[in-house]
Amino acid sequence: MPIITTLTNAELCIEDAILLHDTPGHQVYWVGCGESGEAISCNSWLVVDQDAGFLLEPGGCDHYRGVSDKVDSVFLSSAISHLICSHQDPDVCASLPSWVSNNPGIQIVIPHLWQRFLPHYMAHPEHLIPISDRGGKLLMPDGGHLHCIPAPFLHSPGNMVVFDEASGLLFSGDIGASVFGDNTLRLCIDDWDAHCGCMLGFHQRYMGSNKAVAAFIASVRELPIRAILPQHGAIFRGEEVGKLLDWLGAIDVGVDFMFGDA
Ligand SMILES: [Fe+2]
Ligand SMILES: [Fe+2]
């Protein structure tokens, strides 16, 4: 079974859950869905700690069956205790009603800004953990935490990244997202310069502002991050973590990209 440092694109099987981290009592899996056609490939992540399961970025309603089948292959989808959503977009949240109907007691963790909007996805989301603009943390059975770190306006005004202190993995939502022309599943970066080309247009147009980027970089730069895992495209491992933060801090995005000279 591959783990994150030795993973290669050649060995990926899109039909399977992919083990990324494995230490006693703590595993992390890719359980996302690739897609041909119009829809963009989405990464979902399963963190298993002892007997608890945390699903990050559950995905769209079109991906529910694929994600839940992958979860069931390594865990029990109905036993997942928390759905963790970086922000409100449909490619993150539209499957929430299916997950809740499968397990009415499941907790939904999402930036507080979206608390009032979740009823547009489902009638009465009962078990909600809104994350404030100061952030928050979720305790796992083994004593470690999932740290919810605000990253507002990257791209959503209510947006967070999640740092798993047990694995050193930072789940970054749309930050670091890449889009490949052929929509092939790639979790590894083979060519850094080419990869930057696959990230540039998305970050320039979707991310809020250079100031929001600078605040995010300052909040995560000192964390012991082994890898950054975005909701779309490839993972950043080892020295690629710093390269991503440097690249992000050097480009103009959002209002600075569109109106920088105004
Ligand atoms: Fe998004
Ligand atoms: Fe997204």
What is the tally of structural domains in the chain?
1
Q: What is the pLDDT of residues 71-127, one digit of tens each?
A: 999 999 999 999 999 999 999 999 999 999 999 999 999 999 999 998 898 877 779
> Is the overall model pTM greater than 0.85, yes or no?
yes
- What is the per-residue pLDDT for 38? 58
7 falls within a domain: no
5 falls within a domain: no
Cα-to-centroid distance, 24 and ligand 2 (Å): 31
Q: What is the pLDDT of residues 224-235, one digit of tens each?
A: 999 999 999 999
Q: How far is CA 58 from CA 39, 55, 129, in A?
A: 15, 6, 16
CATH number at residue 179: 3.60.15.10
215 falls within a domain: yes
185 falls within a domain: yes
- What is the per-residue pLDDT for 136? 98
Cα-to-centroid distance, 59 and ligand 1 (Å): 11
Compute the mean pLDDT over every residue in the chain, rounded to the nearest whole number.
93
The answer for residues whose C-beta is within 8 angstroms of residue 191's C-beta and 6 or more apart is none
> What is the C-alpha to C-alpha distance for residues 145 and 1, in angstroms, rounded to an integer?
25
Both tokens of 194, joined, read: 């080419």
H helices of the chain, in order, are 64-74, 90-93, 96-102, 192-206, 210-220, 239-250, 254-259
Q: What is the pLDDT of residues 147-185, one digit of tens each?
A: 999 999 999 999 999 999 999 999 999 999 998 877 678
Cα-to-centroid distance, 179 and ligand 1 (Å): 13
- What is the per-residue pLDDT for 1? 46
- What is the per-residue pLDDT for 37? 57
4 falls within a domain: no
The answer for residues whose C-beta is within 8 angstroms of residue 49's C-beta and 6 or more apart is 25, 26, 140, 141, 142, 144, 166
The answer for residues whose C-beta is within 8 angstroms of residue 105's C-beta and 6 or more apart is 127
10 falls within a domain: no
Angle at 175 between CA 66 and CA 106, to 5 degrees: 45
Asked if the model's pLDDT at residue 261 lies above 90, the reply is: no
25 falls within a domain: yes
Cα-to-centroid distance, 24 and ligand 1 (Å): 33
Ligand that lies nearest to the alpha carbon of residue 42, given by its number in the listed order = 2
Q: At what angle do helices 210-220 and 239-250 cross, to 10 degrees?
A: 160
8 falls within a domain: no
Mean pLDDT of 207-212: 98
Domain span holding position 150? 15-259
